[in-house]
Amino acid sequence: MKKLLLLGILLFFLKNSTLACDCLRTESFCETITNYGSNGTNGYWVVHAVLTKKTNDQLKFKIKETLSGDYANGKSFLFNKGDVFDFEGFIEDEEYIFHLIQPLSEPQFYNYWCGTEYLKIENGKVVGFIQQGIYEMPLNKFMELSNCGVTKPFLELKPTLITNNTFILSPNNWPPASTIELAIVNSLGQIIHAQRMEDISGIQSVTIELEGVSSGVYYCRLAYLGRRQIVKLVIVN
């Protein structure tokens, strides 16, 4: 029995010493996401969340915005004490960027040994180990980091000069099976065309009926994934 116990202790220390040796340096937030994604692992999110409730044993967060992964705005997730390194450092109503790697209906666990799994948001800036040598930047600049995998989904509309009643919508960084609502309005805000498109996952050709519409400047309002976008159009009939 003693031999088995000693063997178990030895294996424990060997395992943990191996992990420690593999972790020659802590990876930044962007490196953590990039390396985790390169392993072909699905089911993770990068989210902008606010701490809504803190007890002695648990943290509850609500997602304000999904930055990467399936659309999850408004959903909540939990951390139990011991799941995060600095449990006491979290403050209610403060905002964070999280890398979540388990189902949102369950507590999230930091199981990436050498990684940085969350960043704080303070006064409109992201603070923490963002990239090697970068520990603070404005939130909007953070969203532009090419290797963080957190670029917001957006639609590209071409051409903006409409001559044949047709334009192309190209989704970028797009979760599958999403809905797009579009409306074309004149300078007075009057809607001259409205359309709802379901289950969009790729480039779409959109045909609009503009008979009787005068040539001029119009605006295309796009609503998708909780976001709104306005594109200026010139229509020539």
Domain residue spans of the chain? 25-142, 154-235
- Which pairs from 76-80 meet CB under 8 Å and 24+ separation? 76/52, 76/104, 77/49, 77/104, 77/107, 77/108, 78/106, 78/107, 78/108, 79/107, 79/108, 80/107
Fold classification of 25-142 is OB fold (Dihydrolipoamide Acetyltransferase, E2P) (2.40.50)
* Cα–Cα distance, 212 to 53 (Å, whole number): 56
Low-confidence ranges of the chain (pLDDT < 70): 1-25, 35-44, 109-113, 146-152, 173, 175-176
Helix, strand, coil percentages, rounded to 5, for the chain? 15, 45, 40
Identify the pLDDT of residue 212. 75
Fold classification of 154-235 is Immunoglobulin-like (2.60.40)
Which tokens belong to 75? Answer: 């959903």
Identify the pLDDT of residue 148. 67
Strands 45-54 and 58-68: antiparallel
User: Is 26 strand, coil or helix?
Assistant: coil
Identify the pLDDT of residue 120. 94
Identify the pLDDT of residue 176. 64
Between CA 88 and CA 98, with CA 93 as vertex, the angle to 5 degrees is: 70
Which tokens belong to 106? Answer: 């369950």
Q: Please state the pTM of the whole predicted model.
A: 0.58
Identify the pLDDT of residue 10. 40
